[in-house]
Structure 1
Amino acid sequence: MSAALFTVFAVAMVLGVPVAIVMGGASLAAILWDGRYPGLILAQRMFSGIDSFPLMAVPFFVLAAELMTGGRITDSLLALARQIIGRLRGGLGHANILMSVFFSGISGSALADAAGPGAVTIQMMRSGGYKPEYAAALTASSAIISSIIPPSIVMVIYALTDNAVSVSALFIAGIVPGALIGLSLVATNAYLSWRRGFALDEPRKPWLQFFRESGVVLSAIPLPVIIIGGIHSGAFTPTEASAVAAVYAFVVAKFVLRSLAWRQLPYLFARASLMTSAVLMIVATASAFAWLLTVLQLPQTIAGFIAGFGLPNMLLLLVMAIFLLLCGLFIDTLPGVLLFTPIVAPIADMAGIHPIQTALVVILSLTIGMITPPVGGVLFVVSVVSRIPLMRIVATIGPFLLAELLVLLLLVFVPAASLWLPGLFGYVR
Structure 2
Amino acid sequence: MAEILFPALFLLLLLGVPVAFALAIAAFAALSLASSYPKIVIVKEMFSGIDSFPLLAVPFFILAAELMTGGAMTHILLRFAAQFVGHLRGGLGYANVMSSTMFAGISGSALADAAGPGAMMIRMMEKGGYPRAYAGALTAASSVVGPIIPPSIIMILYAMQDQRVSVVALFMAGLLPGLCIALAMLATNWWVCRARGYRGDEPRPPVAEMLRTTLHALPALFLIVLIIGGIRGGIFTPTEASVIAVFYALICGMFIYRSLRLRDLPAILLRAALTSTAVLLILAAARAFAWILIIESVPQSLAATIVDWNLSPILFLLAVNLLLLAFGLFLDPLPGVMILVPILAPIAFSLGIDPIHFAIVVIVNLTIGLTTPPVGSLLFVVASAVRLRPSELMREMPPFLVAHLAVLALLTFVPAVSTWLPRISGF
Same fold (TM over 0.5): yes
Tell me what 1:321 maps to: 321
Cα distance in 1 between the residues matched to 2:291 and 2:120: 42
Tell me what 2:298 maps to: 298
Tell me what 2:30 maps to: 30
Q: Residue type of the partner of 2:111?
A: L
Deviations 1:25-67 (A, max 9, x none): 1111122223421111111111111110000000110000000
Tell me what 1:216 maps to: 216
Cα distance in 1 between the residues matched to 2:412 and 2:35: 43
Deviations 1:81-102 (A, max 9, x none): 0012223211000000000001
C-alpha contact 1:141 1:400 (8 A) present in aligned 2: yes
Cα distance in 1 between the residues matched to 2:164 and 2:87: 45
Give the total of aligned pairs.
427
Q: Does 1:118 align with 2:118?
A: yes
- After the TM superposition, which of the residue ranges 304-313 and 53-62 deviates more from structure 2? 304-313
TM-superposed CA distance for 1:142, in Å, is: 0.5
TM-superposed CA distance for 1:172, in Å, is: 0.5
Cα distance in 1 between the residues matched to 2:404 and 2:4: 37
TM-superposed CA distance for 1:213, in Å, is: 5.5
> TM-score normalised to the size of structure 2?
0.98
The structure-2 alpha-carbon separation of the partners of 1:247 and 1:392, relative to structure 1 and needing over 3 Å to count, comes to same
Cα distance in 1 between the residues matched to 2:314 and 2:248: 42
C-alpha contact 1:76 1:214 (8 A) present in aligned 2: no
Q: Does 1:107 align with 2:107?
A: yes
- RMSD across aligned C-alpha pairs, in angstroms? 1.1
Secondary structure at 2:311 match in 1: coil
Q: Residue type of the partner of 1:266?
A: P
Deviations 1:129-162 (A, max 9, x none): 1111110100000011101111111111111111
C-alpha contact 1:216 1:256 (8 A) present in aligned 2: no
In the alignment, structure 2 segments of 5+ residues that lack a partner are: none
> TM-score normalised to the size of structure 1?
0.98
Deviations 1:203-244 (A, max 9, x none): 221232233356321111011211111112111111000001
Q: Does 1:71 align with 2:71?
A: yes
Tell me what 2:18 maps to: 18
Q: Does 1:368 align with 2:356?
A: no
Q: Residue type of the partner of 1:192?
A: V
Deviations 1:219-275 (A, max 9, x none): 110112111111121111110000011111111111101110110000000100010
C-alpha contact 2:80 2:213 (8 A) present in aligned 1: no
C-alpha contact 1:67 1:249 (8 A) present in aligned 2: yes
The structure-2 alpha-carbon separation of the partners of 1:214 and 1:178, relative to structure 1 and needing over 3 Å to count, comes to closer
Tell me what 2:280 maps to: 280
Cα distance in 2 between the residues matched to 1:424 and 1:213: 34
Cα distance in 1 between the residues matched to 2:6 and 2:145: 32
Q: Give runs of aligned pairs for residues 183-222 of structure 1, distance below 5 A.
A: 183-212=183-212, 215-222=215-222
Cα distance in 2 between the residues matched to 1:115 and 1:362: 24
Tell me what 2:346 maps to: 346
The structure-2 alpha-carbon separation of the partners of 1:2 and 1:213, relative to structure 1 and needing over 3 Å to count, comes to closer
Q: Give runs of aligned pairs for residues 29-48 of structure 1, distance below 5 A.
A: 29-48=29-48
C-alpha contact 1:46 1:285 (8 A) present in aligned 2: yes
Tell me what 1:244 maps to: 244
TM-superposed CA distance for 1:346, in Å, is: 1.2
Secondary structure at 1:37 match in 2: coil
The structure-2 alpha-carbon separation of the partners of 1:214 and 1:312, relative to structure 1 and needing over 3 Å to count, comes to closer
Cα distance in 2 between the residues matched to 1:419 and 1:379: 31
Deviations 1:185-218 (A, max 9, x none): 1011111111111112422212322333563211
Which runs of structure 1 show a deviation greater than 4 angstroms over 4 or more consecutive aligned residues?
A: none
Cα distance in 2 between the residues matched to 1:36 and 1:394: 45
Tell me what 2:139 maps to: 139
Q: Residue type of the partner of 1:305?
A: T
Q: Residue type of the partner of 1:293?
A: L
Q: Residue type of the partner of 1:394?
A: M
Identical-residue share of aligned pairs (%)? 52
TM-superposed CA distance for 1:393, in Å, is: 0.7
TM-superposed CA distance for 1:378, in Å, is: 0.3
Tell me what 2:384 maps to: 384
Secondary structure at 2:146 match in 1: helix
Cα distance in 1 between the residues matched to 2:201 and 2:181: 23
Secondary structure at 1:168 match in 2: helix
Q: Residue type of the partner of 2:162?
A: D
Q: Residue type of the partner of 1:169?
A: A
C-alpha contact 2:79 2:213 (8 A) present in aligned 1: no
The structure-2 alpha-carbon separation of the partners of 1:213 and 1:77, relative to structure 1 and needing over 3 Å to count, comes to closer
Secondary structure at 1:330 match in 2: coil
- After the TM superposition, which of the residue ranges 71-80 and 203-212 deviates more from structure 2? 203-212
Q: Residue type of the partner of 1:20?
A: A
Cα distance in 1 between the residues matched to 2:201 and 2:359: 39
C-alpha contact 1:173 1:356 (8 A) present in aligned 2: yes
Cα distance in 2 between the residues matched to 1:5 and 1:120: 41
C-alpha contact 1:89 1:194 (8 A) present in aligned 2: yes
Secondary structure at 1:361 match in 2: helix
C-alpha contact 2:88 2:199 (8 A) present in aligned 1: no
Cα distance in 2 between the residues matched to 1:35 and 1:190: 57
Q: Residue type of the partner of 1:66?
A: E
Q: Give runs of aligned pairs for residues 417-428 of structure 1, distance below 5 A.
A: 417-427=417-427
Tell me what 2:409 maps to: 409
TM-superposed CA distance for 1:361, in Å, is: 0.7
C-alpha contact 2:231 2:241 (8 A) present in aligned 1: yes
Deviations 1:276-322 (A, max 9, x none): 00111111110111111000111111111122222221221111011
Tell me what 2:87 maps to: 87
